[in-house]
């Protein structure tokens, strides 16, 4: 990556009467940043920013979000335009390479990904080491980490070709691993990928076909799956992506880095939110119980939150939620389950929350997870698979961000500092004197 950050002026910081000049840098769009790289060296202080709410950790040219305006761009292209017109594979190419592919580039990339879908035969034995009731995300963390043991010919991070092959392998094999995690949990035999099917259709078939009966992939459901993958493909420096970058900054191999991203994504405040949103809708159960849950969400003394509402970055409607809402309706229509009681609860909850002063004032809009949970459930996925599907899609973003970091000349090993409030130095007290 060629650094493009520009000088935008200076800022002054006065500490104990002494003033320090700090450069102000800027990108192509978005807020400027104060460059504090020399602050500790010159002034002997750190900055304090738990949760990194005011800290840019890297320069990036992949994804841009304007949370106040509800804008999400992949390489400059608005997410709704990509979801409506592009395929996931086309979007993956865009995220990895920076520009939309030509017809030939897309064909070659698509063909390459289709030819990497199979797993090493011995890899399948890995799944059998897990208990049948293991959460599929636990299986994902373990097996994706294990890829580095099977494909160690592509783990040299300083070799562009090795990096490219590992990227292709992960994008292609992730649906196969995810489908196997599901099949294993329900005790059904693994379904071999079919490379004549596109990415989403192949994945749905690997999840829902059985050796005794093939699965006819509905074009509407395959398109919905593809859109879900597009919407989840990248989201700049979120927790899991930052985890991948931090893990990768030490020079760790790409498979291990992606496994660390999967671990971070699993949390309910991040990728686990669609599962949590659906569990919450099930717990609410009927429209008449919504006020009780809304009251609990507003109660400061109650830890309950409305899952699927609010976002760290979007303080406006999540642009992915708009696309996901339409996709959700298309899937429910296709499957003829429009009267699904859960959807009625979801729609009413959305209406109340959008009008309620508490949610309006705090700008807590429904996020993508609110609708994706309902859609995936209607498609036949159990709730514990939701985050797995998110991981399949986000793998592309993680790899694009990881590659960008490796190619960034200003990249350093990530090493945050701390404000220490523990015990200062004290002498060891022998056991018999305590």
Tell me which residues touch ligand CMC (CB under 6 A).
Answer: 235, 238, 269-271, 273, 297, 305-312, 362, 364, 367, 369
- 223 CB-near residues (< 8 Å, 6+ apart): 200
Which CB, 48 or 420, lies closer to ligand CMC?
A: 48
Distance CA 212, CA 294 (A): 47
Q: Is 334 exposed, middle or buried (0-12, 13-18, 19+ CB in 10 A)?
A: middle
Which CB, 1 or 277, lies closer to ligand CMC?
A: 277
Q: Which of 369, 384, 408, 432 is catalytic?
A: 369
Q: How far is the CB of 14 from ligand CMC (least distance, A)?
A: 29
Strands 63-66 and 33-34: unpaired
Which CB, 166 or 395, lies closer to ligand CMC?
A: 395
Q: How is residue 380 written in tokens?
A: 């036949």
Distance CA 314, CA 311 (A): 5
Q: How far is the CB of 299 from ligand CMC (least distance, A)?
A: 9
Q: How far is the CB of 362 from ligand CMC (least distance, A)?
A: 4
- Active-site annotation holds for 168: no
Minimal CB distance to ligand CMC: which residue? Answer: 310
Distance CA 39, CA 56 (A): 15
Collapse the DSSP code of 95 into the 3-class scheme (helix H, G, I; strand E, B; otherwise coil) and give the result. helix
- CA 397 from chain centre, in angstroms, equals 8
- Active-site annotation holds for 235: no
Residue 341 vs residues 78, 215, 310, 376, 427: alpha-carbon distances, Å:
33, 27, 23, 15, 64
- CA 395 from chain centre, in angstroms, equals 8
Q: How far is the CB of 311 from ligand CMC (least distance, A)?
A: 5
Residue among 395, 405, 106 at smallest CA distance from 240: 395
Which CB, 166 or 238, lies closer to ligand CMC?
A: 238
Q: How far is the CB of 310 from ligand CMC (least distance, A)?
A: 2
Q: Is 99 exposed, middle or buried (0-12, 13-18, 19+ CB in 10 A)?
A: exposed
Which CB, 39 or 56, lies closer to ligand CMC?
A: 56
Q: Which of 311, 326, 333, 384 is catalytic?
A: 311
The set of catalytic residues is 311, 369
């Amino acid at each position: 990556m060629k650094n493009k950050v520009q000088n935008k002026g200076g800022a002054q910081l006065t500490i104990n009467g002494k003033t320090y000049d700090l450069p102000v840098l800027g990108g192509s769009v978005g807020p400027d940043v104060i460059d504090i790289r020399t602050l500790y060296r010159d002034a002997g202080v750190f900055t304090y920013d738990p949760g990194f709410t005011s800290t840019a950790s890297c320069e990036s040219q992949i994804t841009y979000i304007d949370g106040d305006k509800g804008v999400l761009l992949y390489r400059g292209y608005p997410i709704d335009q990509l979801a409506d017109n592009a395929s996931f594979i086309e979007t993956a190419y865009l995220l990895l390479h920076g520009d939309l592919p030509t017809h030939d580039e897309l064909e070659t990339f698509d063909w390459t990904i289709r030819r990497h879908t199979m797993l090493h035969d011995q890899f399948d034995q890995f799944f059998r080491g897990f208990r049948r009731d293991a959460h599929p995300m636990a299986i994902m963390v373990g097996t994706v980490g294990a890829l580095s043991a099977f494909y160690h010919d592509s783990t040299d991070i300083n070799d562009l070709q090795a990096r490219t092959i590992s990227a292709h392998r992960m994008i292609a094999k992730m649906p196969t691993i995810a489908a196997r995690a599901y099949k294993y949990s329900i005790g059904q035999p693994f379904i071999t990928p079919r490379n004549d099917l596109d990415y989403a259709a192949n994945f749905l078939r690997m999840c829902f076909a059985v050796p005794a009966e093939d699965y006819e992939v509905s074009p509407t459901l395959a398109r919905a799956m593809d859109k879900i993958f597009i919407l989840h493909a990248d989201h700049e420096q979120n927790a899991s992506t930052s985890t991948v970058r931090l893990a990768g900054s030490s020079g760790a191999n790409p498979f291990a880095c992606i496994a660390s991203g999967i671990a971070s994504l699993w949390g309910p405040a991040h990728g686990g939110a669609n599962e949590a949103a659906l569990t919450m809708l099930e717990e609410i159960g009927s429209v008449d119980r919504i006020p009780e849950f809304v009251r609990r969400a507003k109660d400061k003394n109650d830890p309950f939150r409305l899952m699927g509402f609010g976002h760290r970055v979007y303080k406006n409607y999540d642009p992915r939620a708009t696309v996901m809402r339409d996709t959700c309706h298309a899937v429910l229509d296709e499957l003829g389950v429009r009267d699904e009681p859960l959807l009625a609860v979801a729609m009413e909850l959305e209406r109340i929350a959008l009008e309620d002063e508490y949610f309006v004032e705090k700008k807590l809009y429904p996020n993508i997870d609110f609708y994706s949970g309902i859609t995936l459930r209607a498609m036949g996925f159990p709730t514990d698979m939701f985050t797995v599907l998110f991981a399949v899609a986000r793998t592309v973003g993680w790899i694009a961000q990881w590659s960008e970091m490796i190619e960034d000349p200003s990249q350093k090993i990530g090493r945050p500092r701390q404000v220490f409030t523990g015990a200062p130095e004290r002498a060891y007290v022998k056991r018999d004197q305590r």
